[in-house]
Structure 1
Amino acid sequence: MEKEIALADIPTMAAAINAGVNRVELNANLEVGGLTPDPDTVVKAVQLAAKSDIDLVVMIRPRAGNFNYNYDEIETMRRSILTFKSLGVQTVTFGIVDEKGRLARHHMLKLLEASKPMKVVCHMAFDAIDSTCQLQALQWLHQYGVIRVLTHGGALQAGIEETLPHLQEIVAMAPKGLTIMPGGGVSYMNAIEIAAVLGVKDVHGSKIVRLP
């Protein structure tokens, strides 16, 4: 099982690596769901990930709230992507959803182009996509090279147990080769059970391993 932890500082990253995580999603401001971290922290995280031989994913999210960004916010995201690429980051995560609850493809394309040759993950912005548009979104993301989708299967206010049925539908809908990774309420206490129910190998959470 690939255990990915969401965290926001280097001491926690070091502790998580010692506790057995396979992958780190680096954020700032986890209390609002994670925002773009500062370059100094990213540099240290890149070094620690390389030294520890684990994967590092860096969050690209300019503000809290919805995922419908204006031109200036998208430009800020693009500049962050280019900066982190120059710092040695190999994977970034982002998502943009329009006011109608659809994947904002033209904005996504702009950021996907800026990300090359880095790998790209779509984060929980996916859950803001209308359920009737999610199959099409999964197909599009896979077509344009996104490797993984992080999803709670519904609103974060709902417990993971409540969203499991829709998560099962998302896993079934996903094109072959696109990894679906459950998150939001997944922890070291329930990860094995959730992965088994969904038939997935990747799990995500801020408590995916027990930290000291």
Structure 2
Amino acid sequence: MPIYEFCAENVTFLEKAFKAGAQRVELCDNLTVGGTTPSYGVIKAAVELAKDYQAKVIVMIRPRGGDFVYSQQELAIMLEDIKCARELGVDGFALGALTSENQLDTEALKTLLDASRDLEVTMHMAFDQIPKAAQPSAIHWLKENGVTRLLT
């Protein structure tokens, strides 16, 4: 049976999507830049609404638009966002981190994945920046390290 997922920038159409059969929402903000982390209030409202429909909330963890190469300060922000979203009861995260050579930033990803333990993790569209020849080994690494889905 297929799972219907809805990408939402806020809670405006969330209830309508759940009533139409969406079983999972990828919650983000700023879709015009590919999505960033939504606000605490939006996450809280979405989690509360999703409970009524037994739906899952997957939150985008991305501090800004642009590339997927993050500074230590940005990684610290991402870890804090994961902590807050976890406390609100989300089901998982969509995240990614790359090196300046467009390879998986395995050090940063291990830190983010550790903070995401016991929740679902999706590698987001950062994957598309990885050169095609390196994608199979990247998929293997992601799978071996607990990433359950890939958005491409």
TM-score by length of 2: 0.96
Instruction: Tell me which amino acid in the other structure corresponds to 1:106.
Output: E
Alpha-carbon distance in 1 for matches of 2:148, 2:142: 8
Runs of 4+ in 1 over 4 A off after TM superposition: none
Aligned to 1:87: 88
| Alignment deviations for residues 9-62 of structure 1 (CA, whole Å, 9 cap, x no partner) | 112111111222221100111121111001111011111111111111100000
1:84 corresponds to which letter in structure 2? A
The corresponding residue for 2:24 is: 23
Superposition deviation, residue 7 in structure 1: 1.0
- Give the aligned residue type for 2:18: I
Provide structure 2 residue ranges, at least 5 long, that are not aligned to the other structure: none
> How far apart are 1:2 and its partner, in Å?
1.8
**Residues 56 and 90 in structure 2, CA contact (< 8 A), matched pair in contact too:** no
Matched position secondary structure for 1:11: coil
Which runs of 5 or more structure 1 residues have no equivalent in the other structure? 152-212
Counterparts of 1:4 and 1:128 in 2: how far apart (Å)? 23
Larger Rg: 1
Post-superposition offset of 1:79: 0.7
* Same amino acid, percent of matched pairs: 37
Q: 1:116 offset after TM fit, Å?
A: 1.4
Matched residue, 1:149? 150
The aligned amino acid for 1:90 is D
TM-score (norm. length: structure 1)? 0.69
Aligned to 2:51: 50
Query: C-alpha displacement at 1:91, in angstroms?
Result: 0.6
| Alpha-carbon offset, residue 144 of structure 1 | 0.7
